[in-house]
Chains A and B, each alone.
Chain A
Amino acid sequence: AQTVTQSQPEMSVQEAETVTLSCTYDTSENNYYLFWYKQPPSRQMILVIRQEAYKQQNATENRFSVNFQKAAKSFSLKISDSQLGDTAMYFCAFMNAYNNNDMRFGAGTRLTVKP
């Protein structure tokens, strides 16, 4: 079974600084997707970034980028130029590419951006 581990329950960063959130996963599959979702106080789950396992190039979306290390089964999220609106819970998630029916989530990291 696939598992997703986020070892940092809480983190904080100063506005305009850079922060990295960690995620590791365990799978025997070769083709899969990895995601970072953001859950602000509004509770809405918002897709931040997505990575396809067969692509070596790390995904980027504006201020958000990932460091995908397939052999190490590591998928960290880097937020650059942190903004107050980035304050939220961040969830790392895994989905088997051949079986799009069970997205597994980590326990989440609560990020606070301080002014």
Chain B
Amino acid sequence: DSGVTQTPKHLITATGQRVTLRCSPRSGDLSVYWYQQSLDQGLQFLIQYYNGEERAKGNILERFSAQQFPDLHSELNLSSLELGDSALYFCASSAWDTSGKLFFGSGTQLSVL
């Protein structure tokens, strides 16, 4: 168990809908990362937050947004969903020390029908 909790584990929705994925980082970790894993694109970095502030953006679509709350949990919001958004979405956390280690949650499998 990595200590990173993601909910829900599975999500099935329709095109055009909006969903929210939730992540609770390991106790004490200030940094949260979101990744998307799809068959054609592999593992893609989406966005990172550190102590409530956006730190970096990767290949995140404008239809997607995220935030990190004062209790350090994070939410990834996906809107106007398309079939191609179907993927496994991972959250990871780190302590922002010098180790560079990321600890991953078990992911949310999103299916857009």
Chain A interface residues (CB < 8 Å from chain B): 33, 35, 37, 42-47, 50, 91, 95, 97, 99-108
Contacts and interface: CB of A to CB of B under 8 A. Distances in A.
Nearest to B95: A100
Interface residues of B, number: 25
Contacts of B109: 43
Instruction: Classify the interface of chain A: helix, strand, loop or mixed.
Output: loop
Contact of B2 (A44, A99, A101, A102): A44
Interface in B34-59: 42-43, 45, 48, 55-56, 58
Contact of A100 (B90, B100, B103, B106): B100
Interface of B is mostly: strand
Given A37-B104, A100-B96, A105-B42, 7 more contacts: A33-B100, A45-B104, A102-B45, A102-B56, A102-B58, A103-B33, A106-B42
Contacts of A103: 33, 45, 100, 102
A41 B39 CA distance: 15
Interface of B: 2, 31, 33, 42-43, 45, 48, 55-56, 58, 88, 90, 92, 94, 96, 98-104, 106-107, 109
A107 B104 contact: no
B31 A100 contact: yes
Contacts of A101: 31, 33, 48, 55-56
Nearest to B58: A102
A104 B45 CA distance: 7
B100 A97 contact: yes
19 contacts: A43-B88, A43-B106, A43-B107, A43-B109, A44-B104, A44-B106, A45-B92, A45-B104, A45-B107, A50-B100, A50-B101, A91-B43, A97-B100, A100-B96, A101-B48, A102-B45, A102-B56, A103-B45, A108-B42
Contact of B43 (A44, A99, A100, A105): A105
A5 B41 CA distance: 14
